[in-house]
Amino acid sequence: MTVTIKFSVRELVGDMRDGAYDVPEGTTISGLLGIAQKEAGMVLSEEVKNSFVFLVGSIPAQWETVLNDGDKVRVLYKILGG
Amino acid sequence: MARYERNHPAISEAEQEILAKKRVLVAGCGGLGGYIIELLGRIGVGHLTVVDGDVFIQSNLNRQLLSSNDTLGRKKPDCAAERMRSVNPLVSLRPVSTFITEENAEDLIAGHDVVVDALDNGPTRIILARAARKLKIPFVSGAISGWRGRVFVLMPDDLSADFLWCGEKGVIQGNLCFAASSTASVQAAETVKLLLDRPGLLHGRLLEFDLLSGQWEEIPLDLS
């Protein structure tokens, strides 16, 4: 199946690309990011991963959310300051 | 009234009178809160409750409007009250020097028309948003990180937005003054729109902006 991903904070994800990824049925957001990291030849630090919050379309999602064909994953960044 | 002359006609004189009767709680008197309090006071929101358990320290000076060499060590809400007496004595400002907790959140926000999130951490945002939802008070959330800001409005019927605030902090990028003032300005505008029942709320969407790249983006957010 094909899903797309868009990262809000480019400087945290280096060469991990925005766009479409072909992934197996049943892939989770965690799996998708694993595929994206592998393609980019990088490993995200725990600190960076802790910064992420997710939307699938406009719906809040989690690392373990199972994706469906056509899903658009938005990787936002945790913004907490004031 | 001459004081509010330049508010018109963007807001009407009738709306000006409405604002004078409204009650807003601003949670936090720091980077966001200082500007939000200033703006809501200047536009004429009649009753402000401002809540913060902190005093001003050196690291606040880069961005917190109410901080200065003269206010270091002083309670933030008290400084807000002093500033408002000078800026707009028509505003009734109640300073509350306490930290928001699960035990006091509902009592603090009861009786207000809008709650404004000017906090600096996830757990307290969760507490405050839940209290606002329980008491059916609209919640104007704002937050900053580095060059970035994010604003959105939670209405009482919305599901939880905790996913934006829970868990570990993640990467710390600092807090720049213009991110604070820009985010606070949007929050103040959203607050006034709520108070005046004006359209165009940032509801059902996040506004995120990056002042470094110059990008402003609306991101759909479905909490229905």
Task: Indicate yes or no: CB of A55 within 8 angstroms of CB of B168.
Answer: no
A20, part of any domain: yes
Q: How close does chain B come to A25, measured CA to CA in Å?
A: 25
> What pLDDT was estimated at residue B169?
76
pLDDT for residue B64: 97
Across the interface, do A80 and B223 touch by the CB < 8 Å criterion?
A: no
In this structure, of A64-73, B164-173, B198-207, B211-220, the range with the lowest mean pLDDT score is B164-173
What CATH code is carried by the domain that includes residue A56?
3.10.20.30
Angle between helices B13-21 and B177-195 (to 10 degrees): 100
Q: Is residue A56 part of a domain?
A: yes
Which band of pLDDT confidence, cut at 50, 70 and 90, is reported for residue B203? very high
Give residue-wise pLDDT tens across range B50-73: 999 999 999 999 999 999 999 999
pLDDT digits (tens, 9 = 90+) for A40-79: 999 999 989 998 999 999 999 999 999 999 999 999 989 9
Burial class (CB in 10 A: 0-12, 13-18, 19+), B151: buried
Using the predicted structure, report yes or no on whether residue B106 has a pLDDT greater than 90: yes
Domain boundaries, chain B: 2-220
Taking residues B11-39, report their average pLDDT.
Answer: 98
Q: Which CATH superfamily is domain B2-220 in?
A: NAD(P)-binding Rossmann-like Domain (3.40.50.720)
CA B53/CA B210 separation, integer angstroms: 29
Confidence band, pLDDT 50/70/90 cuts, at residue B81: very high
B34 in Cβ contact with B65 (< 8 Å) = yes
Question: For an interface test with A, which of B32, B140, B145 has the most A Cβ atoms less than 10 Å from its Cβ?
Answer: B145
pLDDT for B170: 75
Does B167 touch chain A if contact means CB atoms closer than 8 Å?
A: yes
Q: How many domains is chain A built from?
A: 1
Q: What pairing do the DSSP bridges indicate for beta strands B139-145 and B114-117? A: parallel
Q: Is the pTM of this model over 0.90?
A: yes
Query: In which element (H, E) is residue A77 found?
Result: strand A72-77
Give the tokens for residue B146.
Answer: 């580095």
DSSP B165: T
CB-based contact, A62 to chain B, within 8 Å: yes
A80·B121 Cβ contact <8 A: yes
Residue at B142: amino acid letter:
G
Contact between chains at A50 and B219 (C-beta distance less than 8 A)? no
- Alpha carbon B217 to chain centroid, angstroms: 20
| Distance separating alpha carbons of residues B47 and B88, to the nearest angstrom | 11
Rounded to 5 degrees, what are φ and ψ at A80?
-125, -10
State the residue range of the domain holding A15.
2-77
Cα torsion angle, B81, B52, B130, B182, sign: positive
